A and B are shown apart, each in its own frame.
Chain A
Amino acid sequence: MSSNPPRWADRFLEWYCHPDLLEDLQGDLYEVYQKRRTENGKRAADLTYVWLVIRSLRISAIGKSKRLKNSIFMMTANNFKIAFRVLARDKVNTAINLVGLTIGIACFLLMGLYVKQELSFDQFHSKKDRIYRSWLKEDYGEGKIFFNSITPLRFRDLFEQNFPEVESAAQLVIENHLVGRGEGRLDERIAVLSPNFFQVFDFEIMKGNKEAPFPGLRSIIVSESYARKYFGDEEAMGKTMSLQIGESIEDFTVSAIMADIPHESSIQFDIAISTENNRQLYGQGSMNAWFSIIPENYVLLKEGASVESVDAKMQDVVMGYLSEEVERGQYNIGLQPLTDIHLNPDVPAGYAPVSNPQYVYILGAIGLLVLIIACINYATLSIGQSLRRAREVGMRKVLGAGQSTLVVQYLSESLLLALIAMTVGTVLTILLVPTFNALTGTQIFFTFKWWHLLAYLGVGLAIGVAAGIYPAFVLSGFRIVSILRGGSQGGGRHVARKGMLVFQFLVTVFLISTTLIMRKQVSFMQEKDLGFTYKSVVSVRLQPDPAAQRLTQVIASGMENGKLLKAALQKHPDVTDIGMATHMFGSNGWTQLAYTDDKNVFRRFAFLNVDANYLKSFGIKVKEGRDFEEGNGLDERQSIIINQAAADYFGLENPIGDKLPGKEFGEHRIIGVTDNFNFTSLHSQVEPLVIAENAMPILQGISDFNVEDSPVPKLVFTYTGSNLAEVQDILGKEWEAIFPNEALDFSFVDEKIQQQYENEARLNKLITVATILSIVIAILGLLGLMVLVVNSRIKEIGIRKVMGATPITIFALLSKSFISQLLVAIVLSVPLTLWLISKWLANFAYRTEIGVGLFVVSGMTALLVAALVIVYHTLRASRINPVESLRVE
């Protein structure tokens, strides 16, 4: 029996150990390893081996290994002592370097935390590799595809009964219900969970039975923070809460308390009840429906089972049930890994929003870029310093220092600096996290784990080496004779230095342009004329009758109740344009209806149920035909208005008086055509839309419908008063009088519309932060370089002043090389920015233009910054009395 100790430890030993000593030492270590292994097992033996390898370092020191002498391990306390003195001697430079590196590190860490968090979504479940979420894609040809990760209720049984690979299937619905304790009731997001949910996922049950968290039909689970919200400091277990289920209000008993769900979870809820309530919630019909989607279905595969074998059988299983309804390939089911959910935009979002992975990459890259700039900054400055340190290098070389000794010395300096910067940067990051979150609307956390210390050292070392390696070699490579003779160093190095400066400015200009264009796109979306007015428009969610079950009943009873509120609000002079509709601007997921027309073409369109006042309240123009009329009985029964997109889609050339093509609709007539207005977010084009006061004639003809956002009617009105707090007051009072037991739920439409672009706005803020930081670093770098340039030319400037040079000539003298480098950077940044930004803009159906002005502005900004730094130094340099600068030597 023979087994090997850790390979890396061996490599390490072979690397540092003197070849004469290696063989027998290593042999002995092996022998000891084998003995220890038979006695104490592999783990103990491995540990011993590593320990012995480290201990062996002292033997090598005796053996006078040549390699060791020059290696990094000779960076003794002495090196650091010298490094410390060097850093302390040149305080300005050290400060500049330190601030630059610290900012770079802080930026890197902040972006890193964000990226890490995005990547760690749903990773905390112990069975995550076996958990999949099902999706359903109905494809009826001609691009008519329904693709959802919300699936039918019956999928749970489907998976458990037909696939031996599936260990269990869990189900989750998240929807709003009124929840209360005592009198008041609040609209809360409630999860409806299958009882096995907590066995599939690792959400922690703190009190109660994890195996059977719902002992009965009327059991309810609350999270810790909600237990506190509803019960305060009282013990929540066993207490009752009321919940509106279907038409009745039921008492539920708290049967378990769950730990709050971590932020990095796609599945988020605070209150949960059991799927045993499904029948009452969704009706018998939906229990076995194939075309009505309600929950997210998750499957847990058995250990070792492959998802491919499940996939392979899907179509056959489906056809076993549905061969009469659909053709092969029309009804497709698939599985998506749990850990894929958060960052995969190809599968539609379920109950949790999906992040755009692009943003994660962009921000990760920017964090890294800023760090790289900071490192380059250090390198440029160190090389810039070379003139000053040339003599020191010369002296050391004369005294017998080899190049490697000097490299080690300079690396010690950068390492020391990097470690200090790392420490300060980490502390800064921890302090900045709350500000950063508040500023950018992100939610990142700084958690400490023991391996962070190692990572911390590792990153510190890496930064130190990255920043210091190039200057170390340049500095140590100076030839003695030329230094001591006082000559300048070869031109090649200036090229490298210039290259780095150009790169630094390139990134800065790139970031400035990116920030500007993103800001432009975000404000473009927020300010684009959407085809309706929405400033100061308030939307109030109405109360349908609890008994209402069918969609039409929900809408009709909601609007009926809405009339009461409308009448009440009309008394207030500041409230105008009151209307009602099933969907509100600023939310996606409007009701989608679909049918197959008489030519066998599959048709899909958005549908909005309104009252006669609605289009007027939003200022939506009817460009052909007319708007609905109040009190017109025909309008109330059968008139419809379509948008221009619908007219084009259905191919109606003279739409007024016409019908939607297809014979199965109820009696209806098109009375008007509106302009296209952007009723959903600007990420997508305007879809065909049908608007009616009465949904019945249209609903009769459709074969399929899809409602993501609740179609419970909302009342909208424009508030013309100036004080927005008053509107809340008015609404509250009127609501209280009409619906004393129901919670008021209202929002401002413009806020909702802005919220659609939250992601973009957040990204923009993050990049702005990075841009500002990179500009600061760039300024620091330029500042440092200028100090050196001015100092090295101080005599020249002195002589020029004596000869009569003005500050302007001195400015020209100092700025000449920098400005040309900056111009190169600006020119180079244009194609880079264009390429990346157009990729990003492709995400939007409506996008702003990338103008030349953008590059002019960002270029000018960078130039201005550079010019300011140079002016500052010009003034400083020209104020020095030539007598002072020329007296030396």
Chain B
Amino acid sequence: MKRESLGELEELVLLTVGSLAGQAYAVTILEEIAEQAGRKPDVTAIHSVLRRLEAKGFVTSSMGGATADRGGRRKRFFTLTVAGRKVIDETMLVRMGLYKKLLTILGS
């Protein structure tokens, strides 16, 4: 199977979507990333990453509730797809493998 590659921000967003468990939409993702990773990409960057992930089939989206501070507009919630889950697993495996190797060489 041909492996889909993930960009760095894509990976971060994908992880965040997973970790937000059904509450993931652009603004919450933005805040989570700001809190966890201390980075502050602007919201349009998150949007374009989400679109790309959706196009690659790693996330799906559905329209959810609206709030007043959105001017009555609905949110688009993102959830991980099976493929998304898989690509995270694969990336993590690769990283863990490499990390373990590093530890054995340097000692812990």
Contacts and interface: CB of A to CB of B under 8 A. Distances in A.
A86 B52 CA distance: 38
B73 A24 contact: yes
A25 B75 CA distance: 8
A62 B44 contact: no
Interface stretch (A27-35, A231-239, A506-514, A812-820): A27-35
A30 B71 contact: yes
A64 to B, nearest CB: 10
B76 A59 contact: no
Nearest to A53: B44
A758 interface: no
A21 B73 CA distance: 12
Given A24-B63, A59-B48, A30 B43 contact: no
A62 B52 CA distance: 8
A56 B25 CA distance: 16
Instruction: Give the interface centre of A25, A28, A62 by most chain B CB atoms within 10 Å.
Output: A28
Nearest to A5: B71
Nearest to B31: A35
Contact of A30 (B30, B47, B73): B73
A29 B69 contact: no
B86 interface: no
Residue from A34, A56, A58, A59 with most neighbouring chain B CB atoms (10 Å): A59
Interface in A54-108: 55-56, 58-59, 62-63
B20 to A, nearest CB: 15
Interface string B63-86: 100111111011110000000000
B63 A2 contact: no
A4 B76 contact: no
A242 interface: no
Contacts of A23: 63, 73-74, 76
B101 interface: no
A27 B51 contact: no
A58 B70 contact: no
B73 A62 contact: no
B44 A27 contact: no
Interface string A820-860: 00000000000000000000000000000000000000000
A142 to B, nearest CB: 69
Contact of B70 (A27, A55, A62): A27
A40 to B, nearest CB: 14
A24 B27 CA distance: 10
B27 A32 contact: yes
Given A32-B43, A52-B43, A55-B42, A27 B48 contact: no
Contacts of B68: 2
Contacts of A59: 44, 47-48, 51
B37 interface: no
Q: For the complex, would chain B's binding face be called helix, strand, loop or mixed by DSSP majority?
A: helix
Interface string A475-495: 000000000000000000000
A55 B76 contact: no
Contacts of B45: 55
Interface in B8-39: 25-27, 30
Q: Which secondary structure dominates where chain A touches chain B?
A: helix
B47 A56 contact: yes
A26 B42 contact: no
A56 to B, nearest CB: 5
A29 B47 CA distance: 10
B55 interface: yes
Given A28-B25, A28-B27, A58 B44 contact: yes
Contacts of B75: 24, 27-28
A56 B44 contact: yes
A29 B76 CA distance: 13
A27 B74 contact: yes
A68 to B, nearest CB: 14
A572 B1 CA distance: 118
A23 B64 CA distance: 11
A864 to B, nearest CB: 63
Contacts of B74: 23-24, 27
A2 to B, nearest CB: 6
Nearest to A24: B76
A547 to B, nearest CB: 82
Contacts of B76: 23-24
Contacts of A63: 51
Contact of A62 (B42, B51, B63, B67): B51
Interface residues on A, range: 20 to 34
A23 to B, nearest CB: 5
Contacts of A27: 66, 70-71, 73-75
Interface hub of B26, B30, B55, B66 (most chain A Cβ within 10 A): B26
Contacts of B70: 27-28, 30-31
Contact of B27 (A31, A56, A58): A31
Contacts of A62: 48, 51-52, 55
B53 to A, nearest CB: 11
B85 to A, nearest CB: 23
Given A27-B74, A28-B27, A31-B27, A58 B48 contact: yes
A52 B69 contact: no
Contact of A28 (B43, B51, B52, B55): B43
A30 B27 CA distance: 10
Interface in A692-708: none
Contact of B44 (A2, A30, A31, A52): A52
Contacts of B27: 28, 31-32
A26 B47 contact: no
A28 B68 CA distance: 12
A24 B25 contact: yes
A52 B30 CA distance: 14
A70 to B, nearest CB: 21
Nearest to A57: B44
B65 to A, nearest CB: 10
Contacts of B51: 21, 59, 62-63
Interface string A23-51: 11111111110100000000000000000
Interface in A671-712: none
A325 B27 CA distance: 80
Nearest to A32: B43
B71 to A, nearest CB: 5
B26 A24 contact: yes
B69 A34 contact: yes
A31 B69 contact: yes
A61 to B, nearest CB: 9
A360 to B, nearest CB: 45
A423 B44 CA distance: 36
Contacts of A32: 27, 30, 43
Nearest to A48: B42
Q: Kindly name the residue among A29, A31, A56 whose own CB sees the greatest number of chain B CB atoms within 10 A.
A: A31
Contacts of B67: 31
A55 B74 CA distance: 21
A741 B63 CA distance: 95
Given A27-B74, A28-B26, A55 B44 contact: yes
A24 B66 CA distance: 9
A859 to B, nearest CB: 62
A528 B74 CA distance: 81
Given A27-B74, A30-B69, 18 more contacts: A23-B63, A23-B74, A24-B74, A26-B73, A27-B66, A27-B70, A27-B71, A28-B47, A28-B75, A32-B27, A34-B69, A52-B44, A55-B42, A56-B47, A58-B44, A59-B51, A62-B48, A63-B51
17 contacts: A2-B68, A2-B69, A4-B71, A21-B51, A23-B74, A24-B63, A24-B74, A27-B71, A28-B27, A31-B70, A32-B30, A55-B42, A56-B44, A58-B44, A59-B44, A59-B47, A62-B51
Q: What 10 pairs across the A-B complex have the smallest Cβ distances? A: A27-B73, A24-B76, A27-B70, A55-B44, A34-B69, A28-B26, A30-B71, A62-B51, A30-B70, A59-B48
Interface of B: 25-27, 30, 42-45, 47-48, 51-52, 55, 63, 66-71, 73-76
Interface of A: 2, 4, 21, 23-32, 34, 52, 55-56, 58-59, 62-63
